[in-house]
Amino acid sequence: MDYDFSAIEKKWQAYWDAHETFKASDDFSNKNKLYVLDMFPYPSGAGLHVGHPEGYTATDIFCRYKRMNGFNVLHPMGWDAFGLPAEQYAIETGTHPSVTTAKNIATFKRQIKSLGFSYDWSREVNTTDPKYFRWTQWIFLQLYKKGLAYIAEVPVNWCPALGTVLANEEVIDGRSERGNHPVIRRPMKQWVLKITAYAERLLADLDELDWPEGIKEMQRNWIGRSEGAEVKFRIDGLDKTVTVFTTRPDTLFGATYMVLCPEHELVDVITTPAQKAAVEEYKKITASKSDLERTGLNNEKTGAFTGAYAIDPVNGNKIPIWISDYVLSTYGTGAIMAVPAHDTRDFDFAVKFGIPVKCIINPDPAEAAKEKIDCEAVLAGKACWTGDGVSINSANDDGLDINGLHVQEAKAKTIDWLAARGIGKRTVNYKLRDWLFSRQRYWGEPFPIIIMDSGEIRMVPEDQLPLTLPELSDFKPSGNGESPLANAGAWLDYVDPVTGEHGRRETNTMPQWAGSCWYYLRYIDPHNDKCFVDPEKEKYWMPVDLYVGGAEHAVLHLLYARFWHKVLYDAGLVSTKEPFHRLINQGMILGTSYKDKRGVLIPTDQVDLSGAEPVLKATGEKLTEFPAKMSKSLRNVVNPDDVVRDYGADSMRLYEMFMGPLKETKPWNTRGVEGVFRFLKRSWRMIMQTPVTDDPVPANLMRLLHTTIQKVTEDTETLCFNTAISQMMIFLNDFGKLEAMPREAAEIYTRLLAPYAPHIAEEMWEYLGHKDSIAYAPWPKADEAHMKVREVEILVQICGKPKARIMMSPELSPAEMEKVALADASVADAVAGKKIVKVIAVPGRIVNIVAK
RNA sequence: GCCCGGGUGGUGAAAUGGCAGACACAUCAGACUUAAAAUCUGAAGGCGAAAGCCGUGCGGGUUCGAGUCCCGCCCCGGGCACCA
């Protein structure tokens, strides 16, 4: 019988389903537990793309391998199903998002199942299921009760054309991701989560995590901790002070002006009548600017003088107060002291507006040379120096003298001086902002909140959750900034059963990220209707041991989920500080595309591939192959269904793992699938179409057998799947030539292959006489004794040039190796008459003779 | 501008400081076949008839020995971006 992958794969998928082979029902087993998680997908209408199975295959191999090694494995899958596409589709067609979502989930599930992943489907979750989002709402109430959720008037991305607010991630270069409509900043009342309260811990606990350094670094940058000081400046002639935040208190002596953000509350108070018109005009211009215009690449400084002056607390200097949009209202205190000599932005501004530049740091000459900065120019106020150096001209008559000190010491001394006089203190600032948590959408979790006519905010009682979405026929946003839920009629109204007071339900919904903030906890206890997760089960399974997904969630989902988890931890509801112990980002899979001479990408269907070189069908122009992100417009999207149909799930899995290291970006190449398909066909022939013998494995192959066990074990353990597969190919290249296949080798090979190509392995295992699934067959152990070799070829070099190859035992000491090497005729010949300076011998590897 | 990755044959890639290119894809040659497909066997980094020489983005350095370590650049991918 030939390798009929289609029949085999159907057979074993049905078997696994019927036998619930991968059900991790034992929540308290004394086996070692292992929780392996995939980032659950948004079930889009387009179906699975080849990027999904990459991560899923990796985790599946690891889980199957660990089960064979006796671990109790939790490996679940679910659906992150709230989201804009289903809602947009509803607006266009009137189809209820729940209908679209159910259909898409069915497609995704069929596709995922067709790849033979060993998920415990009894634990499937769906964020749009009221039984699930009941607990999303419940967790929100816990946040609210702790004061971590509040309503605030905040600037949001408002898209007039779509009639809705958009998340930052839905705005690309100042336009909406969908429809490409302009987006403006506008203040609106929104729900906000106080993630900033956890900034310090979100930062500190990163150190404990086994995550890619890049992702950790991205989170650190996003949180953006900076240490500095708040310093109070008096305003000349007014009984007012302005507090500024600075990371460089050591440069206070060099402040030559101050800048407030245009929105600063003191602007109107301090502006002099003469400057009023100019300031008003500038405020108007800033307000009308989009974020892109304000913060974009065009760093040309703008601003207006308020006419007021501040008093520098260290030297009593009167410095002019300006307003400028390079100072942000949302960071620090919205006000800065400007030290143009030692801050590039301040320098640009000062140059543009003719403000003096006062150098108070003598640059470190070595550092300045490295940065190609001219120290003389800095001292003359003609250039800006932001690096280290020693303070100059920095002393006053009131006991502060930092002259001669380096930046770090000067900072500390200045802060102490300020603190002693009550005009400054050490502070820490974060770039991280509180999380804008409401959306004007239909297809999301409704807030379990009622806003009473009196303005009082009430929670929906926990025993009345879930608060389900109202049925609507029109999903269009109201257009006035309110969610489609504002059209929900009776659903909106609330009457207090006791007092008769009237209220209205919150019409916003939660963002897509809400459901994914805690789904990994629900898998542990998915059907519990008493609490979101049983604490005992949580203790057993958490934390997630391995989490695999794309890097695009580096600072979104992965930060949000850590935040929620810490809130739950503080409430005593979960037992670990962090949810995801180890994280791996799988690399993107690129598609094949073609570029013409000018570098324009050509859609695949316009390319003629029949010749030796790809050419443009229309003109015959030669094209070059170029890997690019798969996209509909380039028509280079590979559909996993096609691959499974043509080559089978096992080939699909194997190919995606054989392409290269999991973390790397790799281009898809259908020819490569044929390569692994051939490998599987040859494996089939070796096991199924070669007589099986009970004779021992030929002595000359024992070493290969055991090094293969060792290499595949090591590489599977460390997720180096590509090299594990190579090793199996090497095994096959030799064992595949045998006239009869020794049973021992056949059984070992089948088990090594099982995590990678589970369907074919099950079929082979059954053929070899086993009644039970291979899923729990014990993983083979390599025997050191069989891996030893009596002799290896040792390269003998003379001054680094290969001279001879001599067989010797790898056990020989360096001295013995040297003796053997020098005894060799060609070596002796080569060193004759020369003086041996040094001999380096590395057992099992090399002998290098340095001779003159 | 700043912060992460990364640059190795025609292609995907491999290589605890120890013979660069394992394993594959594509290519070429051969076998089987009426033929093709499939399959099998073999060749193959570049230059060279060969001996040999040159080869891991570029330039230096450390070392008996560098793809691997150090210093300085260049290029590509990703993230952040007026954060005081």
Q: What is the 3-state secondary structure (H, E, C) of A680-725?
A: HHHHHHHHHCCCEECCCCCHHHHHHHHHHHHHHHHHHHCCCHHHHH
Return the top range by mean pLDDT from A457-471, A655-669, A751-765, A818-832.
A751-765
Q: Which residue is nearest to the C1' sugar atom of B13, using CA?
A: A660
* Nearest nucleotide, CA A372 to C1': B72
Strand, helix or coil for residue A805: strand
Tell me the two tokens of residue A31. 């086996």
What is the DSSP code string of A576-596? Answer: -S-SBSBEEEPPPEEEEEEE-
Candidate ranges A570-574, A611-615, A814-818; pick with highest mean pLDDT? A570-574
A787 touches strand B (CB under 7 A): no
Band of residue A581 on the pLDDT scale cut at 50, 70, 90:
very high
Instruction: For residue range A672-719, list pLDDT tens digits in order.
Output: 999 999 999 999 999 999 999 999 999 889 999 999 999 999 999 999
Cα A196 to its chain centre, rounded Å, is 20
Encode pLDDT of A623-662 as tens digits.
777 788 888 878 888 899 999 999 999 999 999 999 999 9
Whether CB of A246 is under 7 Å from strand B: the answer is yes
The answer to whether A301 CB is within 7 Å of strand B is: yes
Residue A632: count other Cβ atoms within 10 Å of its Cβ: 9
Task: Assess whether A676 (CB) lies less than 7 A from strand B.
Answer: yes
Q: What is the pLDDT of residue A825?
A: 81
Q: Which nucleotide is nearest to A299 (CA to C1')?
A: B82
Q: How far is the CA of A344 from the C1' of B75 (A)?
A: 28
Buried b / exposed e across A72-111, counting CB within 10 Å, b at 16+? bbbbbbbbbbbbbbbbbbbbeeeebbbebbeebbebbbeb
pLDDT on residue A718: 94
The pLDDT-based confidence of A292 (bands split at 50, 70, 90) is low
Give the pLDDT band (50/70/90) at residue A248.
very high
CA distance linking residue A519 with residue A40, whole number of Å = 9
pLDDT of A120 strictly over 60: yes
Comparing every residue's Cα with the C1' atom of nucleotide B5, the nearest one is A214
Q: Which pLDDT value is given to residue A346?
A: 94
For B17, nearest residue by CA–C1' is A842
- Residue A372 approaches strand B within 7 Å at CB: no
Structure token digits, residue A740: 């009869």
Q: How many Å apart are A665 CA and B57 C1'?
A: 19
The reply to whether A851 has its C-beta less than 7 Å from any atom of strand B is no
To 5 degrees, how large is the angle CA A779–CA A780–CA A784?
Answer: 140
**Is A661 near strand B, with its CB below 7 A from some atom of it?**
yes
| pLDDT recorded at residue A189 | 85
CB A221 within 8 A of CB A242: no
Nucleotide nearest to A338 (CA to C1'): B84
Establish whether the CB of A800 is closer than 7 Å to any nucleic acid atom in strand B.
yes
Asked whether residue A738, judged by its CB, lies under 7 Å from any atom of the DNA or RNA strand B, the reply is: no
ipTM of the complex: 0.94
Residue A842 near residue A814, CB atoms below 8 Å = yes
Kindly tell me if the per-residue pLDDT of A297 is higher than 60: no
CA–CA dist A332, A336 (Å, integer):
9
| Residue (of A48, A43, A130, A25) closest to A80 by Cα position | A43
Greater confidence (A373 vs A233) lies with: A233
Instruction: Answer whether the bond into residue A543 is a cis peptide, omega within 30°.
Output: yes
- C1'-nearest nucleotide to the CA of A793: B19
Report the percent of chain A where pLDDT is more than 70.
96
3-state secondary structure at position A579: coil
Distance measured from the CA of protein residue A591 to the C1' of nucleotide B33, in angstroms: 37
What per-residue confidence (pLDDT) applies to A168? Answer: 62
**Residue lying closest to nucleotide B15, CA to C1':** A723
pLDDT of A483 above 90: no
> CA-to-C1' distance for A768 and B9, Å?
42
Of A155 and A561, more confident: A561
Checking each nucleotide's C1' against the CA of A682, the nearest proves to be: B39
The answer to whether the C-beta of A464 is closer than 7 A to strand B is no
Separation between the CA of A455 and the C1’ of B46 (whole angstroms) = 80
Distance A793 CA to B58 C1' (A): 36
Q: Is the CB of A226 under 7 A from strand B?
A: yes
Please state the rounded mean pLDDT for residues A425-430.
93
**How far, in Å, is the CA of A822 from the C1' of nucleotide B53?**
27
Residue of higher predicted confidence among A309 and A478: A309
Which residue is nearest to the C1' sugar atom of B14, using CA?
Answer: A723
Q: Measured in angstroms, what separates residue A806's CA from nucleotide B55's C1'? A: 26
Average pLDDT, chain A: 90
Q: Is the CB of A297 under 7 A from strand B?
A: yes
Under the banding of pLDDT at 50, 70 and 90, the label for residue A473 is confident
d(CA A846, CA A794): 5
Strand B reaches within 7 A of the A626 CB? no
Q: Evaluate whether A669 touches A593 at the Cβ level (below 8 Å).
A: no
Cα gap A661→A715, rounded to integer Å: 11
Report the pLDDT value the prediction gives residue A602, as an integer from 0 to 100: 78
CB-neighbour burial class of residue A518 (10 A; exposed 0-12, middle 13-18, buried 19+): buried
Backbone angles phi, psi at A705, to 5 degrees: -55, -45
Nucleotide closest in space to A245 (CA vs C1'): B84
Which pLDDT belongs to residue A439? 87
709-728 of chain A touching strand B, CB 7 A cut-off: 720, 722-723, 725-726
Which nt is closest to the CA of A726, judged by C1'? B23
Inter-residue contact A270 to A309 (CB < 8 Å): no
Is A201 within 7 A of strand B by CB distance?
Answer: no
Cα angle A81, A513, A428 (rounded to 5 degrees) comes to 175
Smallest CA–C1' separation from A222, nucleotide: B80
A221 touches strand B (CB under 7 A): yes
Please tell me which residue lies nearest to nucleotide B23, judged from CA to C1': A726
Binned at pLDDT 50, 70 and 90, residue A670 comes out as confident
Q: Tell me the CA–C1' distance in angstroms for A622 and B26.
A: 19
Q: CA of A181 and C1' of B18: distance in angstroms?
A: 61
Distance CA A785, CA A703 (A): 9
Q: Mind listing the pLDDT tens digit for each residue in A752-779?
A: 999 999 999 999 999 999 999 999 999 9
What pLDDT was estimated at residue A169? 58
Across A588-593, average pLDDT? 86
pLDDT of residue A375: 86
A554 touches strand B (CB under 7 A): yes
Q: Is the peptide bond before A97 cis (omega within 30 degrees of 0)?
A: no
Q: Measured between alpha carbons, how far is A84 from A77 in angstroms, rounded to an integer?
A: 21
Nearest nucleotide by C1' position to the A346 CA atom: B84
* Residue located via tokens 């402040």: A255
Is nucleic acid strand B under 7 Å from A669's C-beta? yes
Which window residues (309-328, chain A) lie with Cβ within 7 Å of strand B? Answer: 325-328
Nucleotide nearest to A294 (CA to C1'): B82
Pairing label, strands A78-79, A125-126:
parallel
A664 Cβ contacts chain B strand, under 7 Å? yes
Residues 139-168, chain A, CB closer than 7 Å to nucleic strand B: none
Structure-block tokens of residue A803 = 């001279």
Q: Distance between CA atoms of A540 and A233, rounded to whole angstroms?
A: 56
In what helix (H) or strand (E) does residue A119 lie, and over which residues does it extend? none
**Strand-pair partners of A509:** A439, A446
**3-state class of A847 per DSSP?**
strand
- Lay out the sheet containing A546-549: strands in order across: A72-74, A33-38, A546-549, A583-585
Residue A1 has pLDDT above 60, yes or no: yes
Residue A783 CA, distance from chain mean position: 40
Closest nt by CA–C1' to A844: B18
Q: CA A345 – C1' B75 distance (Å)?
A: 29
Nucleotides of chain B in contact with protein CB (under 7 A) are: 3-5, 11-16, 18-19, 22-26, 38-41, 64-65, 77-84
CB atoms within 10 A of CB A6: 15
Q: What is the pTM (predicted TM-score) of this model? A: 0.92
* Both structure tokens of A716: 């599977």
Nucleotide with the nearest C1' to A681 CA: B39
- C-beta neighbour count of A53 within 10 angstroms: 27
Region A569-576: mean pLDDT is 96
- Matching residue, tokens 């605030």: A152
Contacts of A408 (CB under 8 A, 6+ apart): none
Q: Helices A557-570 and A130-145, interaxial angle, to 10°?
A: 70
Between A213-223 and A557-570, two packed helices, what is the crossing angle to 10 degrees? 70
Query: Is any atom of strand B within 7 angstroms of residue A575's beta carbon?
Result: no
DSSP letter (8 states) at residue A330: T
Of A411, A327, A339, A410, which Cα lies nearest the Cα of A381?
A339
Mean pLDDT, residues A120-148 = 97
Bridge partners of A277, per DSSP, are: none
A116: left (phi over 0), alpha (psi -120 to 50) or beta: left
Instruction: Output the pLDDT for position A601.
Output: 75
% of residues, chain A, pLDDT over 90: 65
pLDDT at A578: 96
For residue A728 the two structure tokens come to 């199996």
Token pair recorded at residue A13: 């998928």
Kindly report which amino acid residue has its CA closest to the C1' atom of nucleotide B12.
A659
Q: Residue A849: which nucleotide is closest by CA–C1'?
A: B64
Q: CA-CA distance, A429 to A580, in Å (whole number)? A: 27
